[in-house]
Amino acid sequence: MYRLLIVEDDEVIAKAIQKHMEGWGYEAVCVEDFKDVLQVFVAQKPQLVLMDISLPFYNGYHWCDEIRKISRVPVIFISSASDNMNIVMAVNMGGDDFVAKPFDLNVLQAKVQAMLRRTYDFAGENNLLEHRGMIFDSSRGTVLYEGVQVELTKNEIGILKTLTEQKGKIVTREKLMERLWESDNFIDDNTLTVNVARLRKKLEEAGIEGMIRTRKGIGYTLD
């Protein structure tokens, strides 16, 4: 089942779209917190986004641009501002299509269906993990925090992925080394320490400090 994220601050319109799309077998989620649409996007992992332009706090162009930093998921703009300038702006910011309000829900559904049919396989899009504002894309090996992006090595990806999946829990050094062994990257105890130190340094470069905590004699935890 495809999941759609509806970024529309008019509750009547949002609920109408949600009900219609669910009637066609889609899972539809309406954004309620417009202060940080990107975190909702990461948490929901949608296969397509329906994006209004005029939104509280930041407009749809801003959020489309933020989504494009971490994902190729299709974005269809829905807006009453349907002049040529807005359509061009929507495309330039990474939008895939534009539907002008008022619209027929059947037409919108047909556009959604066509977009999903011709787009790529989304298997890799479910590798996004979020923790306290940090967005980690394990498939691309990148960390994004407050607009700053850093790239990780294969070992660093393995370490951060394990810690993020087990956030709040202590991950032993043995478990981390076993995880990297399974990835054909066996490292000894001292090399693990070096890799964790390098990962911490890269996170600090992105403005993330103190997130990885050492539990002396045991392992590490994500704060």
| pLDDT beneath 70, residues of the chain | 81-84, 120-126, 181-189
The verdict on 164 and 113 lying in the same domain is no
Among 125, 158, 175, the domain-final residue is 125
With tokens 């043995």, the residue in question is: 174
- Report the alpha-carbon distance of residue 89 to residue 164 in Å, rounded: 36
Q: Tell me, what amino acid is at 5?
A: L
The verdict on 72 and 28 lying in the same domain is yes
Q: Count Cα atoms within 13 angstroms, Cβ side, for 36.
A: 13
The pLDDT value given to residue 126: 55
Per-residue burial over 66-104, b if 16 or more Cβ lie within 10 Å, else e, is bbeebbebbbbbbbebbeeebbebbeebbbbbbbeeebe
The verdict on 140 and 209 lying in the same domain is yes
Q: How many structural domains does the chain have? A: 2
pLDDT digits (tens, 9 = 90+) for 200-217: 999 999 999 889 999 988
The pLDDT value given to residue 4: 97
- Report the alpha-carbon distance of residue 84 to residue 88 in Å, rounded: 6
Among 101, 125, 149, the domain-final residue is 125
139 CB neighbour count, 10 Å cutoff: 12
- The domain of 68 spans 3-125
pLDDT digits (tens, 9 = 90+) for 16-29: 999 999 999 999 99
User: C-alpha distances in angstroms, 70 versus 127, 128, 134, 135, 202?
Assistant: 10, 8, 12, 8, 18
